[in-house]
A and B are shown apart, each in its own frame.
Chain A
Amino acid sequence: MCKIGVEMEGEKQPLLAMRGITKSFGGLRAVTDVDLTLHEGQILAIVGDNGAGKSTLIKILTGVYQPDAGEIFICGAKVEMSSRRDSIRVGVNAVYQNLGLVDALPAPANVFLGNEPVRRILGIPFLDNRRMREETERILIENTGVKLEDATVPTLNLSGGQRQAVAIARAVLVADLKVLVMDEPTAALGPEETRNTLALIRAVRDRGIAVIVISHNLEHVFAVADRVMVMRGGRKIGEVDTATSSGTEVLGMIVGSAVGAGAHATTPSTLGAQQ
């Protein structure tokens, strides 16, 4: 992914590194001194209670907010981002919880929205609808393994998993995408759709794209992520390997209680309701 493998202290250079990120809104510290490292082909989950600072951190990474302090490196190069456009330019894109799809438009129109290929006839730019349809079908198969039976139906009429795939296809369309951020990808999905969506995330990862997943659902996090980063009160509390950790341990970190918190504390599925 990164052009030249500059070795950093014998370690492979991370695709993405955030260092000392801090952001306040008025008097409220939303994020304090957070570090984040992400390597190629990794899936990192960020978990934490409501108000833990996950969303703010992600919005900084996608150029929506600018940090008060801290630096962001992509492939070792420092980047400054002042808009989503900037983040897309450096290879970071996001799929938000509501997917950002126009329900009334079919998949190809959504995938290419704002970026439509045109054919000029007498100098007038006409949308190349056929190319959009063919490219969309190709991108969907290559990146998500999803095949649409009919690419002309409004996305409203697609299943939750297919809609997710369209949103991912749209994000992946960015030239040289390096990091894909997914905000609550499994919220409001049934079991079948959840399984499909987790498969989509792995399919994206298999393309060598690093994925950051924001989630409340620890079961899903452990099913898909390589590492879990826990946030609380705007700070990074810790980071664990899913292979060597457990939901109980992570849950204890999230709610801030001592070891054994899992015995009496909330279950993962009710976590969202707890403040």
Chain B
Amino acid sequence: MTDQHITTPETSRMTRLPALRRYVNLLGPMIMVIVLCIIMAFAEPRFFNVPNLMIILHDAAIFMVLGTAMTLVITARGIDLSIGAVAALSAIVMAMLIKDYGVNVYLAMAASVVVGLLCGFVNSVIITRLHVPDLLATLAMDQIYRGIALVLAAGAVLARFPEPIPFIGRGRVLGGIPVSAVVGLVALAVGVVLYRSTHIGRYAAAIGGNREAALLSGINVRRHKTLQYVIMGGAAAIAGILLTGRLNAVQATVGQGLALHTIAAVVVGGTVLFGGRGTMLGTLVGVLLLSMVTNALVILRFQFFWQLVASGIVIIASIGFYSYMNRSGDDDGKDET
């Protein structure tokens, strides 16, 4: 009895395939990266110059930080549209503390992260306690945070910050590697560990994949939703610091469009918008792909507006490819239960 091994022919086929299929959602963006590289090899070989590649990394850095946290949020079937405003608000608070109140720069940076964490916490309270859907809650909070940032800054552009803010935002280390990219890659590395080897990542997948099962397993869904949004808020604040340092200036309107670009990168990378399945590696690929497309169009001297068109095409192509691969996967004999 106990030696009976249940392996039907169907089973063995199904268990071997996913090993490949696990990375299938990366295939679409990977193909696009390769196609883009081939095109650029002919159209403008300078695309591959190390300084240009560093520009791409520099551009992608903010979205690595945001994408890491957003992957977690989306995996748990959440979404955060407020991150652009959170980045702006936390950056404005930091800038005002330094400029208007003469606060130590490190203290001000810490304060901005605290503001970000708080914003994330407020989002989570509205979602988990008032039961406002994630999308609408963060859409509304985006307006509120942006409004507060605008009121605080009163139209001012705050500029010329002490180190290390410019260093973090646009400095280079080790012969040209952007500091921001180091920050972004560290964030992603932390994200990978968080995702694979901690309760935070595991329960995000459980909550997004089967909320009922998560609840029945005794997982504190509310606490983990809160954690995810707090982490997202912290990431948004770090993005705000990077943005401030990049231009060495900040105003309350900064960071518009950050949320949608981040969500696009995460989804292009293969994280499923309906929860349960996320991939940090995919997010890295998604972020890099979008930044590469933008950069390619810039060096090919296309008008800025074409970048929007191209980003849209990339998003649709990735998700279309992913849906197609998944549909063909479902057809080969798997019973839905």
Interface of A toward B, CB cutoff 8 Å: 84-85, 98-105, 109, 113-116, 118, 124-127, 129, 141-142, 145-150, 152-154, 156-163, 165, 188-190, 192-193, 196, 199, 202-203, 206
Task: Mark interface residues in B203-215 (1 if CB within 8 Å of A CB, else 0).
Answer: 0011011101110
CB pairs A–B below 8 angstroms (22 shown): A85-B218, A100-B213, A103-B210, A103-B276, A104-B205, A104-B276, A113-B206, A113-B213, A113-B214, A114-B217, A127-B196, A129-B196, A129-B197, A146-B5, A147-B7, A148-B15, A157-B14, A159-B8, A159-B14, A160-B337, A199-B1, A199-B6
Nearest residue (CB) in A for B337 is A188
Question: Which of B16-24, B37-45, B149-157, B180-188 forms part of the interface with chain A?
Answer: B16-24
Q: A105-B202, A149-B16 are in contact. List 15 more A-B contacts (CB 8 A).
A: A85-B218, A100-B216, A102-B210, A104-B208, A105-B209, A109-B206, A116-B199, A118-B199, A125-B199, A150-B18, A152-B19, A154-B277, A157-B334, A162-B11, A203-B2
Q: CA–CA, A145 to B193, complex, Å?
A: 33
Say yes or no: B202 contacts A127, CB within 8 Å: yes
Q: Is the pair B17, A157 in contact by a Cβ cutoff of 8 Å?
A: yes
Interface pair B2/A142, CB less than 8 Å apart: yes
Contacting residues, chain A, for B216 (C-beta < 8 A): 84, 100
**Size range of the chain B interface in the assembly:** 35 or more
Write out, one digit per residue, whether chain B residues 24-58 have a CB within 8 A of any chain A CB (1) or not (0). Answer: 00000000000000000000000000000000000
Is B3 interfacial (CB 8 A cutoff)? yes
CB B189 to nearest CB in A, in angstroms, measures 14
Q: How far is the CB of A41 from chain B (nearest CB, A)?
A: 13
A145/B5 in contact, CB under 8 A: yes
Contact: B213 with A102, CB < 8 Å?
Answer: yes
Q: Which 4 A-B pairs have the closest CB atoms?
A: A114-B217, A104-B276, A102-B209, A159-B11
Determine the distance from Cα of A146 to Cα of B335 in the docked complex, in whole angstroms.
Answer: 19
Query: Are B199 and A127 within 8 A (Cβ)?
Result: yes
Establish whether residues B210 and A101, one from each chain, have CB atoms under 8 Å apart when the complex forms: yes
Give the dominant DSSP class at B's interface: helix
Interface: B303 (CB within 8 A): no
Does B328 reach chain A (CB closer than 8 Å)?
Answer: no
Query: Nearest chain-A residue to B21 (Cβ)?
Result: A157
The chain B residue sitting closest to A170, CB to CB, is: B217
Q: Please tell me if the beta carbons of B276 and A196 are within 8 angstroms of each other in the complex.
A: no
Are B202 and A116 in contact, with the CB atoms below 8 A?
yes
Known: A98-B337, A159-B10. A150 touches B15 (CB 8 A): yes
Contacts of A161 in B (CB 8 A): 6, 8, 11
- In contact, B217 and A115 (Cβ under 8 angstroms): yes
Alpha-carbon gap, A124 to B197, bound state (A): 11
In the assembly, what is the distance between CA of A161 and CA of B16, in Å? 17
Please tell me if B219 contacts chain A, counting CB pairs below 8 Å: yes
Q: Chain B residues with Cβ under 8 A from A84's Cβ?
A: 216
Q: Report the minimal beta-carbon distance from A101 to chain B, rounded to whole angstroms.
A: 6
Contact residues in B for A124 (Cβ distance below 8 Å): 198
- When distances are taken between beta carbons in the complex, the residues of chain B under 8 Å from A206 are 1-2
Residues of chain A within 8 A of B208, CB atoms compared: 104
> Which residues from A are CB-within-8-Å of B3?
145
Q: How many angstroms from the CA of A163 to the CA of B334 in the assembled complex?
A: 12
Once bound together, how far apart are the Cα atoms of A163 and B335, in whole Å? Answer: 11
Nearest B residue to A192, CB-CB: B8
Cβ A149 vs Cβ B12 within 8 A: yes
* CA gap between A161 and B337 in the complex, in Å: 11
> Cα distance A98–B212 when bound, in Å?
10
A127 to B197 CA separation, bound complex (whole angstroms): 5
Nearest CB in chain B to that of A159: its residue? B11
Question: With A and B bound together, what is the CA distance between A221 and B197 in angstroms?
Answer: 42
Task: Quote the shortest CB–CB distance from B49 to chain A (angstroms).
Answer: 40
The answer, among B7, B196, B209, B219, for a CB contact under 8 Å with A149, is B7
| Residue in B closest to A151 when the chains form the complex, CB atoms | B15
> How far, in whole Å, are A4 and B255 apart by their CA atoms in the complex?
69
User: Contacting A126 at CB < 8 Å: which of B1, B6, B198, B214?
Assistant: B198
Q: Which residues of B contact A160 (CB under 8 A)?
A: 335, 337
Q: A147-B5, A196-B6 are in contact. Are A109 and B202 (CB under 8 A)?
A: yes
Q: Which of A149, A161, A165 has the most CB of B within 10 A?
A: A149
Digitize B297-312: 1 where CB-to-A-CB distance is under 8 Å, 0 elsewhere. Answer: 0000000000000000
User: Across the interface, which residues of B come within 8 angstroms of A154, CB to CB?
Assistant: 18, 277
Nearest Cβ in chain B — how far from A214, in angstroms?
A: 16
Return chain B residues, CB-CB under 8 Å to A148: 15
0/1 interface trace, chain B 88-125, chain A, CB 8 Å (1 if under): 00000000000000000000000000000000000000
A101 to B212, CA, bound (A): 9
Q: When the two chains form their complex, are residues A190 and B2 in contact, meaning their CB atoms are under 8 A apart? A: no
Are A145's CB and B15's CB within 8 A?
no
Q: How far is the CA of A4 from the CA of B55 in the complex (A)?
A: 74
What is the bound-complex CA distance between A148 and B19, given in angstroms? 14
Q: Which residues of A contact B219 (CB under 8 A)?
A: 113-114
A99 touches B337 (CB 8 A): yes
Query: Complex formed: what's the CA distance from A114 to B202 in Å?
Result: 9
User: How distant is the Cα of A73 from the Cα of B270 in the complex, in angstroms?
Assistant: 50
Cβ-defined partner of B337 (8 Å) among A105, A118, A153, A163: A163
For residues 291 through 337 of chain B, which have their beta carbon under 8 Å from a beta carbon of chain A?
A: 334-335, 337
Among A118, A154, A161, residue most surrounded by chain B Cβ atoms (within 10 Å): A154
| B198 and A127 contacting across the interface, CB-CB below 8 Å | yes
- Shortest CB–CB separation between residue A153 and chain B, in angstroms? 4
Asked if residues B217 and A158 are in contact (CB atoms below 8 Å), the reply is no
Chain B residues within 8 Å of A193, by CB: 8
- How far in angstroms is the closest Cβ of chain A from B208? 8
> Is the beta-carbon distance between A150 and B16 smaller than 8 angstroms?
yes
Which residues of A lie under 8 Å from residue B209 when comparing CB positions?
102-105
